Amino acid sequence: MKTITLIYFAFIPTLLFSQNKFPLTPNKIYGDLFSDIQLNQILPDGKTFVDATPKRKVKYILSDYDSKIDSNFNLTKFVQENFNLPLTPTLGYEKKEDNVTLHIKNLWPVLLRQPDKYIKNDVGNSILPLPYPYIVPGGRFREIYYWDSYFTLLGLKESGETKMIENMVKNFAYLINTYGHMPNGNRSYYLSRSQPPFFCLMVKLLASIKGEGVYKTYLPAMEKEYAYWMLGANKIKPTKAINRVVKMQSGALLNRYWDDEQTPRPESYKEDYETAEAAALELAMRIKVALPQKLKEILDERRAFTYKNLRAGACSGWDFSSRWFADNKNMNTIQTTQIIPVDLNCLLFTMEQIIAHALLTVKNNISAKSYLKNAAIRKLAINKYCYNAKSGYYFDYNFETQQQLSVITAAGLFPLFANIATTKQSIATALMAKNNLLKAGGLVTTTNNTGQQWDAPNGWAPLQWIAVKGLKNYKQNVLANAIANRWLMLNDKVYLATGKMMEKYNVEDVSKLAGGGEYPSQDGFGWTNGVYLALKTQLK
């Protein structure tokens, strides 16, 4: 993060930092205590401790832990005595209305959080304070999440909550201006990465309500975020990658998901540790190295590679999916950083277009032309590297092997959402989606069933919206409406059975709830609520 910190230092309020650095993450604050708590699974959910706050000064807690001499030391009791553990709210999520639309409207206040109070030297609190009210997804997700929020805003618009939309956009601009990018969420342990970049689309949504003047207000933050995604682009050589940028053989610049750290994610520490150990063990069984020290170096490099790619997978929002796995099956083959994701690059294309439009509103035609040129080059590159004319669909691309991947995913519909496909490509893409991804309850995430939550049989609200909007862009209304109707039917069915709006759904067997992943399925739920209301309007 040093390079980024230096570039954006002028925009960082010093009161939020110690010695000009980003806030320390829980693993760095608590050291061995942290790893002992997480690896021993003192708390069932790894996210619980990273969201906890100390009851007294951290230095005293660490001193007491380091000086423990009793062999009967009870770590669970120590945690309970020294930390305020977060509560996962459940009240308010029970079914109170027969009408889902009314239920969602009544849920917004439940998911509302007031501005965070900044406390100087609040060491041990992972929250990144926000100056305006905001909406959280729900369940274990007690903070805002980047790409979730765009889809939540769609529902807030349908509910007439313009002020809350503006508050959310202000919070995102604040985070970008403060940290140089929009973090995965407003927690210190999310600062090392971002998520699918939807900020420009949030600004566009707000502008559709309040007018073109919105673009001028948020233009600096939009350009700053773009600079974050393109950091290092001026230094890169063909077929190489720096940070989030990859320079293709053709000379075009495309992007990948990336996290600046290469250690276990604090919120999923045990899971990441075990995945990296499995990857190292698998490698150790395949190679022959004479010197033990050399073997250790190779295996440590493999662990670091695995951590980096797990983190990049979390950056994608698809954590986790077989689209990131070399063998399409096993987590320990994860290779996210080697992949050009078709969805990410469609979002960067959209970002370039929206920033160009914003620049035109302030009469900066020269800069606008530069962004439009970048967008045109990116569009050609997406079609060159990600579109497969033989199968008629868009796929991710591995720039290391210089080959398209074979996993059919709902991400392949993003080029329709971004208006990148030709009419012929859109027809072929729609047919592939219909034949491979359309299920009884909507669009399945991928055609692979691996036990990962971003694979079959699960469907997710944001992907339904992207697909429906993309298909409607190309007049593929029959398929678009089929996806929307099936998804809404499934949402209604689960709500009537459980009284809840869920994070994800089983779209293949609508008699079952979704599963898979690192944690139980959550309810609340921000982006499901938003997409439900927005799709209802689409079908009117």
Q: Which residues are catalytic?
A: 319, 503
DSSP state letter for 499: S
Q: How many helices (H) and strands (E) does the chain have?
A: 20, 16
For residue 351, the Cα-to-chain-centroid distance in whole angstroms is: 17
Residue 76 has phi, psi (to 5 degrees) of: -60, -45
Number of Cβ within 10 Å of residue 271's Cβ equals: 19
Other CB atoms within 10 A of residue 406 CB: 12
In degrees, to the nearest 5, what angle opens at C-alpha 469 toward C-alphas 352 and 230?
Answer: 20
Say if residues 411 and 470 touch (Cβ distance below 8 Å). no
Burial of 109 (0-12, 13-18, 19+ CB in 10 A): exposed
Q: Show Cβ contacts of residue 123 under 8 Å, excluding neighbours closer than 6 positions.
A: 24, 29, 54, 57, 58
Beta carbons of 120 and 15 less than 8 angstroms apart: yes
Cβ(412)–Cβ(447) below 8 Å: no
Question: Coil, strand, or helix at residue 303?
Answer: helix
For residue 392, give both structure tokens.
Answer: 């008629």
- Tell me if residue 17 falls in helix, strand or coil: coil
Q: How far apart are CA 242 and CA 331, in angstroms?
A: 24
How far is Cα 487 from Cα 459, in angstroms, rounded to an integer?
A: 9
Residues in a beta bridge with 523: 502
Closest CA to 154 of 142, 144, 165: 165
- Helix (H/G/I), strand (E/B), else coil: 394: strand
Judged by DSSP in three states, 220 sits in: helix
Is the bond preceding residue 320 a cis peptide, omega within 30 degrees?
Answer: yes
Cβ atoms 264, 273 nearer than 8 A: yes
Residue appearing with tokens 């987590």: 331
Give the three-state DSSP class for 212: coil
Structure tokens at 360: 């035109």
The pair of structure tokens assigned to 182 is 């929009």
CA gap 337, 329 in Å, rounded: 17
**In terms of Cα–Cα distance, which of 436, 427, 438, 428 is closest to 406?**
436
Both tokens of 465, joined, read 């919206």
- C-alpha distances in Å from residue 387, one per residue of 328, 420, 429, 463: 19, 11, 9, 19
